[in-house]
A and B are shown apart, each in its own frame.
Chain A
């Protein structure tokens, strides 16, 4: 027994499991499990554009939205395109009513010199691509002729004064007024320029100004199609509830396993495996930055559930093999009973005879192999069933059925962890306990 224990801990799969467990725990403690908006509290706003747009325009839309939310003081904003006609905005820790107005309406852009408004969003007709020359940058744009003459009038003689740019009432930038614009001559082609310390910095500044100018007029009109929000308080309760449910489920499963096998030796490894799988799934999710939300928790429960099923298959396969070895001597007494069944008796006899021949081959390894055939097949079908959802999640983000992305991903991770890492270790453990030696 002692020998087999040392052998167990020397097995590469056991070592792999231990290493990965430590790695996962380290990842979880250092990086923290990324939580979905429904667990940490936050909002998701889904925005629909009136028509499909190309990647460049989409980029403008997302950066304008992000800029406006940032300008408003909203932190932790994530604005992503979902396909060519939709945008998803994730905001942590902000109530939705604070941002729906902001997203749904066009931005309010204003440029002031001193206290006088010299330019508003609707004056801008087009914003051209910014130009970088060394550390200098320019953002050329055109304004309407009326705006041009008004601007020329107001700006006359104010060269060098700051032009304060406001976005939704918040000051976002104050470049100095160029001499060329302060000469009183109206021009529809204007530009904002500046100098930065490096060319990358220049690019950042130019992009910033460009986005601000564009924000007054999104290239397409947008509408909010969906809002989903959860308070941090409720998220906390979801987490507690999920923990209670998992803990209780584990206890219930332990009781069932114990009632079935009447052997505490079998309860411990099954519980250990379940906890190990939980840690590994969370660890992997942490490393690949897959958000854990309520759906993902359901996926983890599903994966651990199939894990328990798999272990029952392995256990039964091995215990059955043990029983058969014991039974083979007492088999003769059983035989006549079957013969009574008439028509089927013949089949039973041939079956019994065949089994005697095969018995020699159904050693421990063969039985494990058989269990694993069922386990691999079952894992393959479950992964196959999860692929469509995972696909939608990857291409469109968490919208529609994509809400289940976390569910599909954690299920797939859990199943892969199971068949490649924890299941072989469980089989090894069973070999140590019930092996042929």
Chain B
């Protein structure tokens, strides 16, 4: 109990932890940057069902020589299924002929420059508007400036940490991972709303008691969400590594949900308590 008390009473310095991590994430984004997926960068992504054991190197040279493009990368071969990335647009007919005898095309995604440019714009607009709409909703719900801003800041730091994590682990920014970011905006605000409502609007018990209660609920929620995403991630990695949409969504959410625990219970709670103290 004293451990929890100590933790709760030192809320001011603890705010620094998520802030520092957010800053590190920003530095990572600025220096390391984000790779872009096929759909945003343009190019071709192919899943090939191999007829016989073929090494990544062999496959790469077959394709590279066959279609006359030296920017060919074999990203994975699992269960006789190879995932290959090819820079630029690829002639599907030509590729099929090149692969005759080696394997058959299971899926192919080819994105031209025009389409990818448009997707990039849409991705940024989607995130910006999603965040804006979320912020407006939070203001409508609480109708109090500081608590609302605390929630929005926590969500912002959460997104930045998730993006920083993507930069660190080399998860590409793609339409799928943006989906995860949008999901994260919704998920992260859940626990913030729970916290703010319980601590600010209730009168039962002390602030500490209310915070602990909210935290217990919040941790159960986070545990359920993180565990289900880890499950999804593992299933995809072991059974269908070519389902990039799902593995990207899962990994971004795992990073974001862990970041959310820090952002909510160290930052949002800290700011909220500072505000309650100042209001007295």
* CB of B172 to closest CB in A, whole Å: 15
* B203 interfacial by beta-carbon distance below 8 Å: yes
Q: Report the bound CA distance from A370 to B203 in whole Å.
A: 12
Within 8 A of A (CB), among B206-250: 206-209, 213, 216-217, 220-221, 223-225, 227-228, 230-232, 235-236, 239-240, 242-243, 245-246, 249
- For A380, give the chain B residue with the smallest CB separation: B137
* CB of B2 to closest CB in A, whole Å: 10
* CB of A407 to closest CB in B, whole Å: 5
Q: Is the CB of B185 within 8 A of A228?
A: no
Given A233-B106, A324-B204, A381-B193: A226 touches B224 (CB 8 Å cut-off): no
Q: Report the bound CA distance from A257 to B207 in whole Å.
A: 26
Q: Is the CB of B134 within 8 A of A351?
A: no
Per-residue CB contact flags for chain A residues 315-353 toward chain B (1 = under 8 Å, else 0) read: 010001000100000000000001001001001100110
B5 touches which of A230, A341, A389 (Cβ 8 Å): A341
Q: Is the CB of B108 within 8 A of A227?
A: yes
A386 touches which of B131, B186, B245 (Cβ 8 Å): B186
Q: Among B163-171, B175-183, B264-272, which stretch is in contact with chain A?
A: B175-183
* A355 interfacial by beta-carbon distance below 8 Å: yes
- By DSSP majority rule, is chain B's interface helix, strand, loop, or mixed? helix
B175 touches which of A240, A313, A403 (Cβ 8 Å): A403
Q: Is the CB of A355 within 8 A of B5?
A: no
* A301 interfacial by beta-carbon distance below 8 Å: yes
Q: Is the CB of A309 within 8 A of B221?
A: yes
Q: Find chain A residues with CB under 8 A from B205 CB.
A: 351-352, 355
Q: Is the CB of A294 within 8 A of B115?
A: no
Q: Report the bound CA distance from A230 to B216 in whole Å.
A: 44
Q: Report the bound CA distance from A388 to B91 in whole Å.
A: 33
Q: Is the CB of B190 within 8 A of A306?
A: yes
* A67 interfacial by beta-carbon distance below 8 Å: no
Given A227-B109, A233-B49, A373-B197: A381 touches B235 (CB 8 Å cut-off): no
Q: Find chain B residues with CB under 8 A from A74 CB.
A: none
Q: Find chain B residues with CB under 8 A from A238 CB.
A: 240, 243
* CB of B103 to closest CB in A, whole Å: 12
Q: Report the bound CA distance from A309 to B131 in whole Å.
A: 21
Q: Could you tell me which A residues sit within 8 Å of B by CB distance?
A: 38, 46, 48, 95-97, 100-101, 223-231, 233-234, 237-238, 240-242, 244-245, 248-249, 252-253, 256-257, 260, 294-295, 297-298, 301-302, 305-306, 308-309, 312-313, 316, 320, 324, 338, 341, 344, 347-348, 351-352, 354-355, 358-359, 362, 370, 373-374, 377-378, 380-382, 384-389, 392, 399-404, 407-408, 411
Given A301-B232, A341-B5, list of 6 further CB < 8 A pairs? A240-B239, A301-B228, A312-B221, A358-B203, A362-B204, A392-B126
